[in-house]
Amino acid sequence: MAATRMPGQRWYTPYLFALPALVLFGVFFAWPAVTAIQLSVLHYDVVSPPTFAGTDNFTRMLGDERFWKSLLNSVLFLVGMFPLLVVLPLLLAVLVNQKLPGIRTFRMLYYLPVVTSMVAVGVAWEYVFHQQGVLNWLLTAFGLLDQPIQYLLDPFWALPALVLVEGWKSMGFYMMIYLAGLQTIPTSLYEAAKVDGAGAWVRLRRITVPLMAPYIAVAFTMEMLDSMQAFTSIYVMTRGGPQDATLTLGYYIWSAAFEHYEMGYASAMGLVLWVLMIGMALLNHRINKGQAVVA
Amino acid sequence: MILRRAGTYILLTAIALAFVGPFLILLSAGLKPADQAVFSFPPDVIPRPPVLDWVIEAWTAIPFPHYMWNSVIYVAITVPAYLIVSALCAYPLAQMRFRGRNLIFFAILSTMFLPGEVMLIPRFMVVSQLGMADTFAGVILPGILSAFGIFLLRQTFAGVPREIVDAARTDGCHELRIFWHVMLPAARPTLAILAIFGFISVWNSFLWPLVVLKDSAKYPIALGVAYLAGITGTDVRSLAAGTILSIVPVVVVFMLMQRHVLEGMRGAVKG
C-alpha cells in the first residue's frame, strides 16, 4: 500500500529484502519440485540420456512387491511410533511439569538424544541390541527371555527395534511440545479437582487430555510426517534388511536412486510418498479443525 | 509426602537412565582397555583402568580431525547465512505492506510441505546441473532457506511497536538501518535460539551430504562416523570412542545453552 510508504522505502525495497530467500526458494524448492514431476515420467539412469516413460514408473510400482513391502513397513513405523511420540511424551511432560528441585536437569537429560546425531544414536543402540548387550541381559535376568536375541538380524524384531530407537531419539522433543501446553493450564483447575477428590488418573483424563487436545493433534501430525521419513537409523543399523524387514519407503527411494540409479522410478515413488504425507496432514487437519496451535 | 517425593525422584532417575544409558554404554566401551570385554552378562561397565588408546585410534583410523573441521566450516557458513536470509525476508513480511506479501508468505510456508526426503532426488539433479555436486556449496546452499526461521523472526519483528519503526522512518532512516539498528537488536534472543538450533541441525546433518558428496575429504563428522562404522574390522571400542567424540561439541553447546534451547522450543510451539 502506497499510503504507508515512507522515505527510504521505494516500491522495490520489500522485494530486495526478500530476494535472497526468494532466489533460494526458486532454485532449491520450486525448480526441484517441477523436476520431480518431470523425472517421474522418465527412464533415467544418470549415464544415458533420459527417455520418456509415460506411466511406466507408476504401473511398475503396482507390481513391485518391494514397493508394497516398503509401504507396509512405513505404515508399521507410523503405527509403532504413535505410542512412543504421541502418548508417552504427554505422560513424561506431566512428570517433569512438577515444581521440584533439579527438574530442569531431568528435562535436559530427556532431551539429550534429540540434539545428538542419528548416526551416533544408531551406533549407541547397536551396542544396546548386541547379543551380549545390556538389553538381552536385562530381559534374560528378569526371566522375560530364555535366549538372547540378535534384534537387528531378526526379521521379526528388526523393525520394532528401529521404531524403538527412532521413538527414543525424538521423545524429548515431543515432551517439550506438551510441556509448553501444560504450562498454559492454570494450576487452580487441578487444585479444585483435588478438593473434589479427583485422583491423579481422573485429573489426567478429565483436565489434562481435553485441554491438551490441540497439542496432541500437532504431535500426531508431526509424528506421521517424522515416521514416514525415517532413514538414517535404517542406513546405520540395518540397511533395510534383514530380508527387507526394515525397508521403508524413504529408504527404498534412496536406494533406488543412489544405489541403482533408477532416478525416474525413485522420483515416482517420491511423489507417492509426498502425496501420502500431504494427504495425512490434511486429513489430520480436518479431524482436528480449529484446534491446531502451530502452523 | 517425603516417600512420594522419593518415589518421584526414583522414577525420574530411572527414566533419565533410559535416555542417557546408551551413551554411557558407548562411553564405557570407548574407554575400556583391550583385555576387558565390551559385552558380557552381567554388563561390566566400569573400565579398569580407563584408557585413551581407542580415542587416539579413532582419531587416526579415519581423518577424524579433518571431518570435525569440515563440520565446523559447514556450521560457520550455513548458520550465519541462514540467520541473515531469514531475518531479511522476515522483516518486510512483518513490518511492510506490499503487493505479493501473502504470496511470498505462502511460498515460504509451502516449503514445509516439501520434506527433504521427497526433494532428495530432484534437488540432487538441480545441484548437479548447477555444477555443485560434490562441493561445499552443494551441501550448504539448499540448507539455508528455512520456513521455521522466517516464521519465528517474522513473529518477533511483528512484536516491535509500529511507532518505533514509523518514528525511525519519518526521521529519514533508511530501511536497512532500521533493520540493522532496530530490528536485529530486538530479535537477539530469537536469533540466539535459531543459531543454536541451526548449529545442532547442521552438525548432525547426514542424508543430504551423503547424497551430494562423493569425495570423502569433504565429509561432515556424522558421515565420517558412519564411514568408520562401515569399515569392517573397526574395533568396537574405537568405534564407540569415535562416536562419543563426534557428539561432544553438540552436547557441550546444548548443556551450556540448555535454558535457551528448552525455552526457545516452548516459544516456538506457542507461536
Locate the domains of chain B by residue range. 1-51, 52-270
Q: Are B72 and B131 contacting, i.e. CB atoms less than 8 angstroms apart?
A: no
Asked if residue A237 lies in contact with residue A260, where contact means CB atoms within 8 angstroms, the answer is no
Whole-angstrom CA distances from A38 to A27, A41, A127, A258, B147 are 16, 6, 44, 18, 25
The x, y and z cell numbers of residue B256, run together, are 551450556
Task: Tell me if B174 and A8 make a contact (CB, 8 A cut-off).
Answer: yes
Give me the pLDDT at residue A290, please. Answer: 52
Mutate to test the interface with B, among A5, A12, A24 (most CBs of B within 10 A): A24
The pLDDT of residue B197 is above 80? yes
Whether residue B140 has pLDDT greater than 90: yes
Stretch B102-107: mean pLDDT: 90
| B93 burial via Cβ count (<10 Å: 0-12, 13-18, 19+) | buried
DSSP state of A248: -
Question: Taking the model in full, what pTM does it have?
Answer: 0.89
Mean pLDDT of B150-155: 91
Interface TM-score (ipTM) > 0.85: yes
B25/B44 Cα distance (integer angstroms): 10
CB < 8 Å to A98, chain B: 8
Does the distance separating the beta carbons of A127 and B240 come in below 8 Å?
yes
Q: Is the Cβ pair B12, A127 closer than 8 Å?
A: no
**Neighboring chain B residues of A93 at a CB cutoff of 8 Å:** none
* pLDDT confidence of residue B229: 87
Of B8, B10, B11, B12, which to mutate for an interface test with A (greatest number of A Cβ within 10 Å)?
B12
Residues with Cβ < 8 Å from A265, sequence gap 6 or more? A57, A60, A61, A256
| Alpha-carbon gap, residue A49 to B171, rounded angstroms | 60
The answer to whether the beta carbons of residues A141 and A197 sit under 8 Å apart is no
Query: Cα-flanking dihedrals φ and ψ of residue B53, to 5°?
Result: -55, -40
Q: What is the pLDDT of residue A2?
A: 42
Q: What is the pLDDT of residue A26?
A: 93
Indicate yes or no: CB of A112 within 8 angstroms of CB of B23: yes
pLDDT at B122: 92
The C-alpha cell at A189 is 483447575
φ, ψ of residue A259 to 5 degrees: the values are -110, -35
Residues of A in contact with B78 (CB under 8 A): none
H-helix segments, A8-157: 13-25, 31-39, 56-63, 65-82, 88-96, 103-115, 118-129, 134-141
Average pLDDT, 10 consecutive residues per value, chain A (295 residues):
53 89 93 90 86 88 93 94 95 91 92 94 94 91 88 94 96 92 85 84 86 88 88 91 91 92 92 89 74 43
Does A197 or B244 have the greater pLDDT score? B244
CB nearest to A133's CB, from B39, B121, B239: B39
Mean confidence (pLDDT) of chain B: 88
What integer is the mean pLDDT of B166-171? 82
Q: Specify the pLDDT at position B210.
A: 93
Q: Give tens-digit pLDDT for B50-87.
A: 888 888 888 888 888 999 999 999 999 999 999 999 99
- A270 in helix, strand or coil? helix
Q: How far, in whole angstroms, is CA A129 from its chain's centroid?
A: 22
Question: Quick one: average pLDDT of B76-100?
Answer: 92
* CB nearest to B175's CB, from A8, A172, A277: A8
- Grid cell locating B176: 536497512
d(CA A37, CA A52): 12
The pLDDT, as a whole number, for residue A245 is 93
**Distance (Å) of CA A249 to CA A75, A271, A275, B253:** 9, 11, 13, 34
Cell numbers at B235, concatenated: 574395533
Query: How high is the pLDDT of residue B233?
Result: 73
Q: Does the distance separating the beta carbons of A8 and B173 come in below 8 Å?
A: yes
The pLDDT of residue A4: 53
Domains of chain A: 1-39 (no CATH), 55-287 (1.10.3720.10)
> How close is the nearest chain A Cα to the Cα of B268, in Å?
8
Distance CA(B121)–CA(A269), nearest Å, equals 11
Q: What is the pLDDT of residue B250?
A: 93
Locus of grid cell 526426503: B117
Q: Which of B118, B211, B239 sits opposite A274 (nearest CB)?
A: B118
pLDDT of residue A253: 93
Closest CA to A25 of B244, B88, B248: B88
Tell me if B108 and A25 make a contact (CB, 8 A cut-off): yes
Residue B185 grid coordinates: 537488536
**Residue B113 confidence (pLDDT):** 78
Range in A46-55, A127-136, B126-135, B206-215 the model is least confident about: A46-55
- For residues A97-133, one letter each, b for 16 or more C-beta atoms within 10 angstroms of the residue's C-beta and e for the rest, the string is beeeeebeebbbbbbbbbbbbbbbbbbbbbbbbbeeb
| Cβ separation A20–B89 shorter than 8 A | yes
Nearest CB neighbour to A20, from listed B5, B85, B211: B85
A263: left (phi over 0), alpha (psi -120 to 50) or beta: alpha
- Count the neighbouring beta carbons within 10 Å of the beta carbon of residue A232: 24
Q: How far is A274 from chain B (nearest CA, A)?
A: 6
Rounded Cα–Cα distance for residues B145 and A76 (Å): 32
The topology (CATH level 3) of B52-270 is: MetI-like fold (1.10.3720)
Q: Do A177 and B41 touch (CB under 8 A)?
A: no
Q: Which residues in chain A touch residue B89, judged by CB atoms under 8 angstroms apart? A: 17-18, 20-22
Q: How many CB atoms lie within 10 A of CB A39?
A: 26
Would you state the pLDDT for residue B267? 66
Give A215's contacts in chain B (Cβ within 8 Å): 269
All three cell numbers of B80: 550465519
